[in-house]
Structure 1
């Protein structure tokens, strides 16, 4: 089945990183903000090649000033020659365009039992990746040391050098104070609470390090790759834990303390007195996560120790596992129905390990959401399975860092560093 225009990436996994960004489009000619190199660069982020004269017309800057800014951006490797413009008599003018392959980003998605490390260029294209089993409960120093050691392999596989690195994005499976990069009382991450992840990583890679909750970066990755025009989107991860990444009005919503979207600890109707690891009773995570579904099956005489076991049973046509997956979907739907009425998203994406069970989980979610949400809120609502799959996290970590390092102030610092060096 072909993808609709809203779903189909137009240029690599993070096409909207550049194509959707056009600060010059709404600025009157001659009134484009400041004259810094970082501001001039924002015009070129859309990938379109332009001449000095065209940039001077857009910005209102003197051609000599534009030439100086372009020289700085070229020295920093952010732009490069892109052919020649049409001559009006004499030598054809040179054109310049964004050069996204000149710099790279490390995107790291740390799950409860795995890690995926990817090297990504500034267009969001994945250059190389490495996946490995890893237990988040082993603690921050053990996990981060192992991750940092393997980053060298990712550089080597891609044939790139560490000096090309301009930032690192990390997703963790628990609440994170995004402004500091420190985990905040994460329930499945013993020893991580308050740990200064950016500072620890910077001992090995002295560059900008951004850290966020894993489902937040999954929401960023899925939207950038497949739903660039969706202004209101929920990404629901159903795996060892359950959480939501909320994009509202085109912006990721983290909340006052970084815990927005923690739907795994919302009480569900059939939760009863089932104890959750957070200490409360009847939480969604205690009913519908991979370990919870496996435990329920085992209690009913169907051996299952993990979410992966549940998936395998469902794939083999085990009716008990199929029924359990659909019921897990209904439980998720109970919470999402309230979220739909509250937030009115246009798209809900279901991702995470259990989502790979296909329509069993999705059917349960759709059943309850469409039944219990307001008709107007569901009139145009789409509930879909993640298309980015297990790459949503690294794509989102890359997007998070790209938006940071290509912002005007960051570009200005990069240009200044090269001019001084």
Structure 2
């Protein structure tokens, strides 16, 4: 079928059922031969504003863009009903004056989500985001640790502080910023989902105690590769006690955690359902005592790597998890001596998904022992994922279980649910 023969009306009927991947497969989105003349074909998708010709600060350098006359009517056609904007090019030269004109004239009023990569290059554009009346979600990513960026990143944080209607905020910086810069969080009462990477949380965590509407909180102390000199102490975690709506919590780089340190998270008012400890050095075995009192947990993930400094959990500590009878998903990366330790967890009768990684790659016989032990211990088990730095990725069935081999390295983002 020649897709170019379809009329605009026919395409208008089809496009609500097509996502970004479908457009790529059809080789339609961004096709220069279309002359960008049919914006209604893609207006339900995100818009790369670092690629649209009418925002470029150097149109004259691009013959393709230079051939177009960008009337306000034309621009509105491309921006009407857009809900998600993306900047993903560090070298893109966007014109702040043109962006400001669009914002101040309401052409971006439909935007609810914005994502900016290499954000220290785009500070002048980010300054305009507080004027987007319906902006609810903001994601900022900046890669490369360089001290010279700090002033630019500080200015960006100052502008985020003006976006007090956000419900979702995701900031990931490689350069570690002082925790005092997070003081703006005290005014962001509407936040429901917060992820922070690249801040010294030994100072910054205290600014989160007033975020009583938070449902998701993902915190990395420092960046993915190193933590600041000062740990987040037990008193700091007390700032999370009042977050009674919190359902999903991830702590990364929180070293030397103890039973006392995690106690605030298992207090009677806590409703945490999904808890992740990732790359936390030297955790105390007593941590599991507090985790065992998180009675609402249905997902628990211990994500460590061979690079982390920790000891495997002893038998008494593991047994404390048997109180989590409603647990559906469990991840145990490098915290078990061997597969036999799973027999210490017979109380996890509702467990459906088990993710494991061991220091030594399992051979065929050891894999069969693991799977047999898991089936005998967890009567509701449906899926086992075995992670390793050396394995070949594959899937297979074993005695009714879905089994998956997957690779894992330090710092990887892995799907665990």
Task: Give the TM-score taking structure 1 as reference length.
Answer: 0.29
Q: By percentage of residues, which structure has more helix?
A: 1
Higher relative contact order (CA 8 A, sep 6+): 1
